[in-house]
Amino acid sequence: MADRSPHDPLAGIAFDRVPPAGAYGVTGEPGIVVSTAEEPFIALVAARNGFGASVAERLGRAFGGPGLDRPHAGFGSGSTVVGIGPGRFLVLSRAEADLPGTLRAVLGTEAAITGQSDAFVLFDLSGARVPDLLAKGAPVDLDPRVFPVGDAATTLVAHIGATLWRSGETGWRVLVARSFEASFTRFLLGAGAEYGLRLEGRG
Amino acid sequence: MSRLNRNRLEAGGLIDRARPLDFVFDGHRYHGYAGDTLASALLANGVRLVGRSFKYHRPRGIFSAGAEEPNALVELRADARREPNSRATVTELFDGLEATSQNRWPSLGLDLLSLNRFLAPFLGAGFYYKTFMWPAAFWEKLYEPVIRRAAGLGRAAREADPDHYEKATAFCDVLVIGAGPAGLMAALAAGRSGARVILADEDFLPGGRLNTMAGEVHGQPAAAFAAHVAAELASLPNVRLMTRTTVFGVYDGGTYGALERVADHLAVPAPFQPRQRLWRIVARRALLAAGATERPIVFGGNDRPGVMLAGAVGTYVQRHAVLPGRHVALFANNDGAWREMLDAAATGANVETVVDVRPNVAPELVEAARARGIRVFTEARVIATQGRTLRSFDVLSPGGRERLAADTLAVSGGWSPCVHLTCHHGGKPAWNEALAAFVPGATPPGLAVAGAANGTFGLGAALREGAGKGAEAAGALGFPVPPLDVPQVEDAPFALTPFWHVGESRGPAFVDLQNDVTAKDVGIAHAEGFRSVEHLKRYTTLGMATDQGRTSNVTGLAIMASLTGASIPETGTTIFRPPYSPVALGALAGHHRGKDFRPVRLTPTHEWARAQGAVFVETGAWLRAQYFPRKGERDWLETVSREVKAVRASVGLIDVSTFGKIDLQGPDAGTLLDRVYINTFSTLAVGKARYGVMLREDGFVMDDGTTARVAPEHYVMTTTTANAAKVYQHLEFCLQVLWPELDVSLASVSEQWAQIAIAGPRSRQVLAKIVDTGVDVTNEGLPFMGAVEARVMGGVEARLFRLSFSGELGYEIAVPARSGAALAEALMQAGEEFAITPYGVEALGVMRIEKGHVSGNELSGQTTARDLGLGRMASTKKDYIGRVMASRPGLVDPARPCLAGFRPVNGSSRLRAGAHFLPLGARPETANDEGYMTSVAYSPHLGHWIGLGLIVRGPERIGERVRAYDPVRGEEFEVEICAPGFIDPEGERLRG
Amino acid sequence: MRIPCPYCGARDAHEFAYLGDATLTRPDPAAADAADRFHDYVYLRDNPAGRHQEWWYHANGCRQWLRLTRDTRTHAIEAAEPARRDATQADMPGAAS
């Protein structure tokens, strides 16, 4: 909008483009660093009725993590398994080009597999102020006392559907549908500018 | 500097004398200190007249020292940041603050509109309803402009607000609302237990009453004790101390609304800092410790600048080291006000007179007053006041009537606990006879009340109650609460005799200062039958506007009670609803304004389309290319017509990724589809697609689209762009609720696949150039409604569908979303020799209307498959959702409006969607209405406008002429009914 | 309002879509009086002041349909159960061990 003041973090940023890499908001050491993470292969695993626990366990064994059918992110070497609904998991992998094929081999007929590598953009958020930033969008209690590393939530962040999980003490991952990439990045800039935010280029 | 603050005490107060601040009020420069409010700084400078009243333009001064302020409303800041109706009493002073008085013209001192005072007899209760009834035309032209000029509050800024606002969510175990004595102790008790605590207070300084009282707590000045506790709370990692934060509403499930004024105390927010932040606080337990509001006594001339609540006088003296005046008198009905005045006198105020309505007042108070040389009147009342700002007042006592000098008259009729938040779930406050006050009744689940808000007025008792209830809240959640050393404070006995209104008053006696409602108005309302408190409120406006009757509610209903003869609890209070105090719309919107109103979705080819010069249009959340203008084209119609012609003559491409796409996998996928579509999909061959229509259970059409079978147990469904989420939800309902035995898994793949349609006689040639070797796209290899998985552009996985929305030979090519732009480029390159043309949703719309395909305008939720000419698709061999209800007589009535095409009889007429059909010569009446035009387009193919519409017995009336009547645009034209298919009705183009 | 989703935990009602009465069963479409029964199923609703069972869809969460038991006067939620209880339980005959 033409009337935005220079104090407005969104002044001068087109609403219909992914904002370019760079430093946004207050100067100095950024409170938040944002990058789009490199984990290019994603598939949805939907367990057939009654196979949720079994599928969870098999995924845990094959890709790491506790293998539980709950909103949780299990980390393996180069892969992450995130529970997004009962018997439903997103598997993210850095190396498995034929992820659906691998999953079929692991799960047999217990689950339906759907390739989703292009459906999402995976944001990596780090820095001391990430919880403050996420509080401005996510209506979920992300306090470390109740949302430890590995916890995951599928929810709305600033009216955009998202699955997020805590990947480390100060590291967070947010998976957002690809068509929302520009709007979600815009939310990050608007909410993070008062802490200083560095948006890194595509790796 | 302090010499300029002529009413400032030499020492004391919670102000920082090392930090002087400049400010401007009505063009005059003044000085104050950090720690001042605008009100305290104005009083320190001797400014007593700060505004004019709402209706009568009477001069008004500062009445309170808090959020309850009815009078001292100012326009804060200037230009785009101007904020009307800012309460000077809660406006934190900052350097460079600019404020302007309101509702006066041309100036505060000389207000010409104060002649309204002489019109007062006409502006009494219900004047809106009485005076301006007739004639109606006068309302807009005369009454309203005059009233708007003469009555009202501040002016909103004309420019858009340059600041930004945001929203946030917080979670805690215990939310404590109010950081006064009870709140501080509650937060300390809960905080030390390890519970996550949020302590919110609307003030910039925690402490509440502790900051405004004389005397000591725990061996230190009360304010120092408050600071000490606040410091400990701030040091606890599990406690969040939120100052400048008003909790304004209690919602369901332990959710509280709060407004944090992040930068209201600054001239301009720091770079990138929001002005205000709207909090949604989710608390497992909450404690309301919001204190109490003092209420006045209603007497003649009680609105004169200089009349002020007694507690406010105490606050200005103790907290701000400001003497509101040089000659102070008190009019009260309770002991607390006496003590307030004695403390003020001890601190340096010149208290000269005390008037008490009670015949008997505690002898020690009377003695203490007399010892200070204060004249005491008991069994007495103030009946009138004099002066532009207060100069003198008249006392009526058993000794007779006497006029006494005073520039400040402190008033106290007792205290009303701030019960508002306890009522937000519909709970009614309960009348406490001993306190003569409403105290909390049933509270919302999880919300307890402590301290003055609970009617616990003694300081010692409030500290103990706060500590106890804080511990209780944390303990109930399983936190181990260590014992807390609560300061011992001895409370003086509470002594008050209810007294509301001086019947012997001379001159107007105001109940509601903000709305200029007098005791007489309450009498008028009563006499005219508006006796329920809710009627009283609407009829007189008592208790409305920014202060919501904080200082007037109880007195108003007490006066009404005395008129009706009912008791106060029988009379009851009006309902308190959120918000507790005003919340700016900007804060409610947060970042979601302008183009950020809601998030937008961009298609995979968005940047590519932009490079092609696309004009975009919002379709739902999506931004889609509407058309692609070229140099020299006069208007959109020329552009769209060029795009349509290019497709029909050669080939064009459009991004259709926005359609909903759902993968269905599992042995029962075909069964599920048979139950949700009116036609059959279980028999569909692998490698084929079929157009399907699904109904709601009530028999009306919900959505349409094509579904392909890509493997024996794997279908891919497409939905309309608008209904993608709704259809997915519907399918999950079928699978989880209706038929949980079906073995089908759903996955939304809308985001995974970019999908581009190519259409036109050359489209096959274009497609052939981008598919990998061995992919057969001949008419035999990929026939009409064929659907295959293939590789394109050298190894990119793809799904190819031979479909057509335009009526031309056409294909849809789906590739992973990240390859979408590359696909568009590849198609452009492959189509270069055919002058391939990108087209937008407008051209798509034109072509589907030419072809007679239904779309969103026809799928209105009020049409059946039969209405749309799709009835024959319905299978008679199976059940499906909506089948039973679709056969209701009303839905199969042959007289229902059905889909037809329309062409203008006069070839040059522009048709209009929304026009209603009438028989020729029939009057435009509902009884003659035969349906309406749903979609229109200019057909470059035919060279005139065409339309689709729903008209009674449409298919039987081909060739008939009717009238299309458009009263909205004031147009009408004659149209001829035709078949809904203006181009290639046999479908040769798309099958060729 | 906060809805205790059995999978996601307590979430704000904004994440959910509301459908209505969860005590109704889709009638047998082959029944002789199917038209009447469907009419009741589609249109007739009790409007109880008090305990009510209703369908809520966790649209912006786990995408489960939940059967909520809610007091319409207070919005207090007594229970939230998944419509398809067995979805996460390997208790079906033939389930893998």
Q: Based on the fold, state whether residues A123 and A193 are members of the same structural domain.
A: yes
d(C-alpha A67, C-alpha B349), whole Å: 74
Which residues of C are less than 8 Å from A106 in CB distance? none
Tens-digit pLDDT profile for residues B276-303: 999 999 999 999 999 999 999 999 999 9
- pLDDT for A201 equals 82
Q: Given a contact as 3+ CB pairs under 8 Å, which chains touch C? A: A, B
d(C-alpha B665, C-alpha B655), whole Å: 26
Cα atoms found within 13 Å of the Cα of residue A136, Cβ hemisphere only = 26
The model's confidence at residue C92, banded by pLDDT at 50, 70 and 90, is very low
B827 by Cβ neighbours in 10 Å (0-12 / 13-18 / 19+) ranks as buried
Best of C23, C38, C64 to disrupt the B interface by mutation (most B CBs within 10 Å)?
A: C38
- Average pLDDT, whole number, for chain A? 92
- pLDDT for B129 equals 62
Q: Based on the fold, state whether residues A133 and A180 are members of the same structural domain.
A: yes
Contact in structure between C60 and C15 (CB atoms under 8 Å): yes
Give the DSSP H/E element, type plus range, for residue A186: helix A181-192
Beta strands, E only, B159-202: 165-177, 197-200
Q: Work out the angle between the directed axes of helices B519-527 and B533-540 (0-180°, nearest 10).
A: 120
Give, in order, the Cα–Cα distances in Å from B239 to each of A138, A144, A148, B195, B200.
21, 14, 19, 8, 11
Which residues in chain C (36-75) have CB-CB distances under 8 A to chain B? 38-39, 41-43, 55, 57, 59, 63-65, 74-75
d(C-alpha B550, C-alpha B569), whole Å: 18
The model's confidence at residue C83, banded by pLDDT at 50, 70 and 90, is very high
- pLDDT for A203 equals 46
Q: Based on the fold, state whether residues A133 and A171 are members of the same structural domain.
A: yes
Give the mean pLDDT of A172-186.
96
Please list the ranges in chain B whose pLDDT falls under 70. 1-3, 105-106, 109-123, 126-152
- pLDDT for A157 equals 96
Give the DSSP H/E element, type plus range, for residue B644: helix B636-649
How far is B150 from chain A, CA to nearest CA, in Å? 32
Beta strands, E only, B696-835: 701-711, 714-719, 745-748, 753-759, 787-792, 796-801, 810-816
- pLDDT for A3 equals 53
Which residues of A are less than 8 Å from C60 in CB distance? 154-156, 161
Which residues in chain B (934-973) have CB-CB distances under 8 A to chain C? none
Q: Do A85 and C12 touch (CB under 8 A)?
A: no
Q: Which CATH number fits domain B660-749: 3.30.1490.20, 1.10.3720.10, 3.40.50.2000, 3.30.70.1400?
A: 3.30.70.1400
How far is A30 from chain C, CA to nearest CA, in Å? 31
B294-415+494-571 CATH: 3.50.50.60
Contact in structure between B715 and B801 (CB atoms under 8 Å): no
The model's confidence at residue A125, banded by pLDDT at 50, 70 and 90, is very high
Q: Per the domain annotation, does A13 fall within a domain?
A: no
Q: Given a contact as 3+ CB pairs under 8 Å, which chains touch A? A: B, C
Which residues of A are less than 8 Å from B271 in CB distance? 6-7, 25-26
Q: Based on the fold, state whether residues A90 and A157 are members of the same structural domain.
A: no
Q: Based on the fold, state whether residues A46 and A109 are members of the same structural domain.
A: yes
pTM for this prediction: 0.93
- If one counts the domains in chain A, the total is 2
Cβ contacts from A onto B, under 8 A: 148
Residue B137 CB partners (closer than 8 Å, separation 6+):
none
d(C-alpha B714, C-alpha A100), whole Å: 15
Whether residue C89 is predicted with pLDDT greater than 50 in this model: the reply is no
Q: Does C65 touch chain A (CB under 8 A)?
A: no
Q: Per the domain annotation, does A6 fall within a domain?
A: no
Pick from B686, B664, B602, B651: which is nearest to B804 by CA? B651
For chain B, the structural domain boundaries read 1-151, 165-292+417-476, 294-415+494-571, 602-658+752-852, 660-749, 892-992
State which amino acid sits at residue A85: G
Which residues of A are less than 8 Å from C84 in CB distance? 49
How many degrees, rounded to 5, is the angle at CA B532 between CA B527 and CA B536? 65
Q: Do A16 and B747 touch (CB under 8 A)?
A: no
CATH number of the domain that residue A132 is part of: 3.30.1360.120
Per-residue 3-state assignment (H helix, E strand, C coil) for B473-491: HHHHCCCCCCCCCCCCCCC
Best of B737, B738, B739, B741 to disrupt the C interface by mutation (most C CBs within 10 Å)?
A: B737
Q: Do C34 and B884 touch (CB under 8 A)?
A: yes
B165-292+417-476 CATH: 3.50.50.60
Q: Given CA atoms C84, C85, C87, C90 in this order, what sign does their dihedral have? A: negative
| Phi, psi angles (nearest 5°) of residue B369 | -65, -50
Neighbouring-strand partners of residue B972: B965
The 3-state DSSP class for residue B641 equals helix
How many Cβ atoms from other residues are within 10 Å of residue B909's Cβ?
Answer: 17
- CATH H superfamily, domain B602-658+752-852: Probable tRNA modification gtpase trme; domain 1 (3.30.1360.120)
Q: Do C59 and B253 touch (CB under 8 A)?
A: no
Q: Does A29 touch chain B (CB under 8 A)?
A: no
Task: State CA B705 to chain mean position distance.
Answer: 37
Neighbouring-strand partners of residue B279: B168, B258
Q: Based on the fold, state whether residues A125 and A192 are members of the same structural domain.
A: yes
Give the mean pLDDT of A151-163.
97
d(C-alpha B43, C-alpha B408), whole Å: 11
Q: Based on the fold, state whether residues A26 and A45 are members of the same structural domain.
A: no
The model's confidence at residue C93, banded by pLDDT at 50, 70 and 90, is very low
CATH number of the domain that residue A107 is part of: 3.30.70.1520
d(C-alpha B763, C-alpha A58), whole Å: 46
Q: Based on the fold, state whether residues A57 and A90 are members of the same structural domain.
A: yes
How large is the ipTM? 0.96
Pick the residue from chain B with its C-alpha nearest to C59.
Answer: B729
Q: Per the domain annotation, does A17 fall within a domain?
A: no
The model's confidence at residue C94, banded by pLDDT at 50, 70 and 90, is very low
Tens-digit pLDDT profile for residues B598-633: 999 999 999 999 999 999 999 989 999 999 999 999
Which residues of B are less than 8 Å from C86 in CB distance? 740
Residue B505 CB partners (closer than 8 Å, separation 6+):
B298, B299, B300, B301, B383, B384, B519
- pLDDT for B688 equals 97
Give the mean pLDDT of C44-54.
94
Which residues of B are less than 8 Å from C77 in CB distance? 253
Residue with tokens 């009477």: B58
Q: Do C38 and B885 touch (CB under 8 A)?
A: yes
Q: Looking at the partner chain, which of A50, A69, A84 has a beta carbon nearest the beta carbon of C86? A: A50
Give the DSSP H/E element, type plus range, for residue B962: strand B961-966
Residue ending a domain, among A115, A135, A153, is A115
Contact in structure between A179 and A196 (CB atoms under 8 Å): no
B156 by Cβ neighbours in 10 Å (0-12 / 13-18 / 19+) ranks as exposed
Q: Based on the fold, state whether residues A140 and A190 are members of the same structural domain.
A: yes
Q: Do A156 and C14 touch (CB under 8 A)?
A: yes
Which residues of C are less than 8 Å from A69 in CB distance? 88
Whether residue A105 is predicted with pLDDT greater than 70 in this model: the reply is yes
How far is B733 from chain C, CA to nearest CA, in Å? 7
Residue ending a domain, among A69, A92, A115, is A115
Could you name the CATH architecture of B1-151?
Roll (3.10)
Conformation bin of residue B376: beta by default, left when phi > 0, alpha when psi is -120 to 50 = beta
Residue B434 CB partners (closer than 8 Å, separation 6+):
B494
Q: Do B729 and C84 touch (CB under 8 A)?
A: no
- Average pLDDT, whole number, for chain B? 93
Residue with tokens 């050491």: A29
Which residues of A are less than 8 Å from C12 in CB distance? 139
Contact in structure between B8 and B2 (CB atoms under 8 Å): yes
Best of C3, C7, C65 to disrupt the A interface by mutation (most A CBs within 10 Å)?
A: C7
How many Cβ atoms from other residues are within 10 Å of residue B563's Cβ?
Answer: 16
Which residues in chain B (740-799) have CB-CB distances under 8 A to chain C? 740
Q: Cis peptide leading into B135, omega within 30 of 0?
A: yes
d(C-alpha B819, C-alpha A108), whole Å: 30
Rg over alpha carbons for chain C, rounded to the nearest Å, is: 16
Q: Based on the fold, state whether residues A158 and A132 are members of the same structural domain.
A: yes
Q: Based on the fold, state whether residues A30 and A68 are members of the same structural domain.
A: no
Which residues of A are less than 8 Å from B268 in CB distance? 7
State which amino acid sits at residue B176: V
Residue ending a domain, among A115, A135, A164, is A115
Q: Do C29 and B879 touch (CB under 8 A)?
A: yes
Q: Do A7 and B666 touch (CB under 8 A)?
A: no
Per-residue 3-state assignment (H helix, E strand, C coil) for B710-730: EECCEEEEEECCCCHHHHHHH
Q: Which CATH number fits domain B892-992: 1.10.645.10, 3.10.580.20, 3.30.70.270, 2.40.30.110?
A: 2.40.30.110
| Phi, psi angles (nearest 5°) of residue B758 | -120, 140
- pLDDT for B53 equals 85
What is the span of the domain harbouring residue A137?
Answer: 22-37+119-199
Q: Does B691 touch chain C (CB under 8 A)?
A: no
Pick from B461, B728, B419, B406: which is nearest to B575 by CA? B419
Q: Based on the fold, state whether residues A29 and A66 are members of the same structural domain.
A: no
B294-415+494-571 shares the fold of B165-292+417-476: yes
Q: Does B725 touch chain A (CB under 8 A)?
A: no
Q: Given a contact as 3+ CB pairs under 8 Å, which chains touch B? A: A, C
Cβ contacts from A onto C, under 8 A: 68
Q: Per the domain annotation, does A69 fall within a domain?
A: yes
Give the mean pLDDT of A183-202.
93
Contact in structure between B174 and B196 (CB atoms under 8 Å): yes
Pick the residue from chain A with its C-alpha nearest to B623.
Answer: A16
Domains of chain C (ranges, CATH numbers): 2-27+48-85 (3.30.2270.10)
